Amino acid sequence: MAVRTRVWVLPRRLLRGAAGAAALMALGAVLAWWRVQAQAPPPVMIDPGHGGVDGGASADGLLEKAVTLDVALRLRRHLEAMGVPVRLTREGDEDLGGPLTRGRHRRDLAERVRRTHECGAALLVSLHANSSRDPTERGFLVFYQKDAPASRELAERLDRALAPLARRREPPIARTDLYVLRNCRPPAALVELGFLSNGADRARFRDEQHMERVAMALAFSIYEFYQSLIGTR
């Protein structure tokens, strides 16, 4: 009984002053926030590569940074329609590397990883567009972090989903030198959406229907992988 009495005495003392009441309200707000945070499902992080001062690869007036953002915005729309919370590392034409000094590119990549970790994302999909000296090279390529089984599974799902939109299917490629994949804690994959250096791929990047199909294919495979992750928590 003594314990119960003490439990009641503390709030009453606290409530005596206006400061005490404010403190209790603040504590309540923190607890409510914590409860929402604890129950909210983790988001999927979509990373449109490059942006701002960094246009990425380019050809015939088409910039990689615009292609990646275009697909990212479509992808977010489809995933949200499926009930999956989505974050983007960038929402507009901006770079994340800060001042234009040495190391800007590395800082830009680090910030993408930091934002992924900060929001507690369940997975990361980074979007890029390729370029080659060989103008006949075309098509999708999907990369994963070597020796990271979840990263590989995500890449395989993305690759399978994109296969019907490709002339020739390339299996996902293991890498150890891609900063975002190497440093991301949750499963991560990087998709090269096609070659800006190839005329046919460039035409596809300008084709609204094709871009929608790509976004849909990515959305379905991400949705499946996300469900399998969340279901096992």
Residues that bind Zn ion in the complex, under the rule CB under 5 A: 49, 56, 128
Cβ-based neighbours of 161, under 8 Å, separated by 6 or more: 217, 218, 220, 221
**Residue with the CB atom nearest Zn ion in the bound state:** 128
Please give the structure tokens belonging to residue 19.
């400061």
Alpha carbon distance 154, 124 (integer Å): 9
Q: In sequence order, which residues have a C-beta less than 8 Å from that of residue 135 and are 6 or more positions away?
A: 197, 198, 199
Cα 64 to Cα 40, 44, 90, 201: the distances in Å are 33, 22, 14, 12
Largest CA distance in the chain: 83
Q: Cβ closer to Zn ion: 87 or 128?
A: 128
Q: Which is nearer to Zn ion, 64 or 159 (CB)?
A: 64
Nearer to Zn ion, 43 or 49 (CB): 49
Closest to Zn ion by CB, 57 vs 219, is 57
**Which residue's CB is nearer to Zn ion, number 179 or number 220?**
179
Compute the least distance from the CB of residue 42 to Zn ion, in Å: 26
Q: Which is nearer to Zn ion, 141 or 217 (CB)?
A: 141
Q: Least Å distance between CB 49 and Zn ion?
A: 4
Question: Closest approach of Cβ 129 to Zn ion, in Å?
Answer: 6
Residue 28 Cβ, how far from Zn ion at the closest point, in Å?
Answer: 46
Shortest distance (Å) from residue 7 CB to Zn ion = 59
Q: Quote the least distance from Cβ 65 to Zn ion, whole Å.
A: 8
The answer to whether the CB of 181 falls within 8 A of the CB of 190 is: yes
What residue has token string 């395989």?
156
**Dihedral (C-alpha) 151, 154, 157, 158: value to the nearest 10 degrees?**
-100
